[in-house]
Amino acid sequence: MRASGILLPIASLPSNYGIGSFSKSAYEWIDHLKKAGQKYWQILPVGPTGYGDSPYQSFSTFAGNPYFIDPDTLVEEGILTTEEIEEYDFGDNPRYIDYQKIYLSRFRMLRKAYERSNIVMDSKFQEFQKVNSFWLQDYALYMAVKNSFGGLSWSEWDEDIKLRRAEALDAFRNVHKEDITFYEYTQYLFTIQWTKLKQYANDNGIKIIGDLPIYVAFDSADTWSHPELFQLDEMLNPIAVAGCPPDAFAATGQLWGNPLYLWETHKETEYEWWLSRIAYCFQLYDVVRIDHFKGFDEYYSIPFGGLTAELGHWEKGPGLPFFQTIHEKLGNVDIIAEDLGYITESVRKLLKDTGYPGMKVLEFAFDSREDSDYLPHNYDKNCIVYTGTHDNDTVRGWFGSINRQDRAMALAYMNKKPKAVKNIPWDLIRLAQQSVAKLCIIPIQDYLGLSSEARINTPSTVGLNWRWRLLQDEITDELLLKIEKMTDLYGRHE
């Protein structure tokens, strides 16, 4: 198999309401992919975002982001009117998301829809509640409690609610029944609209690559409802948290702050929670990219309370038995291993033993001091090649920032003259497309030749990430034809 696809987060789709959604533009995007000869659409995690607006710090690993619910569909269904939607301020910059305005408007709009819906009498909604009860009840309760405490983290709630004492939870459910049902309603809308969009993609020969973060957020329904699965003390405060050690990119390391798993407990339950999580992902997506694959071999443990990641140490992860259990219980599911970063021989062996394809990023390839696994002549077929990912700069921005020696190496590798850098994004795209990698994924920003202003995320920073959006008329027939011709040239139409 040789195929190609494009990376574009749902939030980055064009729309009239401040953020990408399951709107007409999403269906048009699938049409664009088909016209360009693509077979895959890769997205980022679709969970409800919390602090920093990161999809990797979600309030739930199961829930969907209510921001993605399309308002126009609610108008078509007669629940809201166009005039009502236009009363809300979703932001006025089509290029960048204004999350504060989205937060202040989207839930008010959805609450109005809920109050008119009479959804509790809908048999399909009742079936949705029943089928998804293993996560939906905890998520809706968590969000309702969080809202009642002014958005505070569950670690700052009153002790009886924080510790999930039964009488306190029952009392809250009785008083806040409407709020809980509202959050269940948003998940129902998300699921209906996403299922329809995914079916449209599949009917047009497009598969969806979703993203499964290895860790969940501390401030999440997952940690609050299942504290026994995490490294927490008696008062449910973290004992140690996740991150990465110091390296050339971060002198003090990366302090992610996610709670770490009690892997022995997961093993004792035959990874029941993980199996539910992964099985649910395969309801949402056709292919799942497992983030931070290295963490399953060994994970970096940082004592809670530290200001940097410098005092952390490595602990053994669940290893191959975890993935063997996935295969035994779920079958031959289609998984991509995100094996980027500092990779040891034990990680390479784990990847080989699972049989999963790893990732190759061309922006990591050109280090003039040494050979690199990311150079195409070192690939085998069982890998996925990217020019860059959501955590990288765009090709144009990257090429302008690397040192002279690395730039010279890249040009020599591609047989380009020093002055011939105008089309550098397409030169790198060509290198990816012609490689032996079975799948080639290119961020849409690189096809458009955009610079650093189009970057999705800069790791270890907060404030300006996850904001970039595609403009409504930015994808032209000329561009799609150019992509299609290159895809065809290198035999990736399969």
- Would you name the residues annotated as active-site residues? 291, 338, 391
Q: Which residues contact 77 (CB under 8 A, 6 or more apart)?
A: none
Q: Report DSSP letters for 312-343, one per residue.
A: -EEEE---HHHHHHHHHHH-S--EEE---SS-
State how far the Cα of 61 lies from the Cα of 221, in Å rounded to an integer. Answer: 8
State how far the Cα of 111 lies from the Cα of 449, in Å rounded to an integer. Answer: 40
State how far the Cα of 354 lies from the Cα of 352, in Å rounded to an integer. Answer: 6
DSSP state of 32: H
* R_g of the chain, CA atoms, integer Å: 23
DSSP state of 95: T
Which whole-number Å values give the CA distances from 240 to 44, 218, 232, 494, in the listed order? 26, 11, 8, 46
- Could you tell me if 383 and 360 are in contact, meaning their C-beta atoms sit under 8 angstroms apart? yes
Tokens representing 29 are 């995007």
Q: Work out the burial of residue 232: count CB atoms within 10 Å of its CB; fewer than 13 is exposed, 13-18 middle, 19 or more buried.
A: buried
- Could you tell me if 444 and 8 are in contact, meaning their C-beta atoms sit under 8 angstroms apart? yes
Report the largest interatomic distance among the alpha carbons of the chain, rounded to a whole angstrom: 73
Between helix 477-489 and helix 24-35 the angle, nearest 10°, is 40
Which of 12, 29, 125 shows the shortest CA–CA distance to 68? 12
Tokens representing 281 are 């992902």
Which of 289, 285, 291 shows the shortest CA–CA distance to 207? 285
- Could you tell me if 79 and 117 are in contact, meaning their C-beta atoms sit under 8 angstroms apart? yes
Which of 112, 251, 291, 288 shows the shortest CA–CA distance to 186? 112
State how far the Cα of 135 lies from the Cα of 131, in Å rounded to an integer. Answer: 10
**β-strand 439-443 against 240-244: which pairing, if any?**
unpaired
Between helix 424-434 and helix 477-489 the angle, nearest 10°, is 40
Tokens representing 247 are 């390296």
Q: Report DSSP letters for 179-199, one per residue.
A: HHHHHHHHHHHHHHHHHHHHH
- Could you tell me if 44 and 211 are in contact, meaning their C-beta atoms sit under 8 angstroms apart? yes
- Distance between alpha carbon 34 and the CA centroid of its chain, in Å? 23
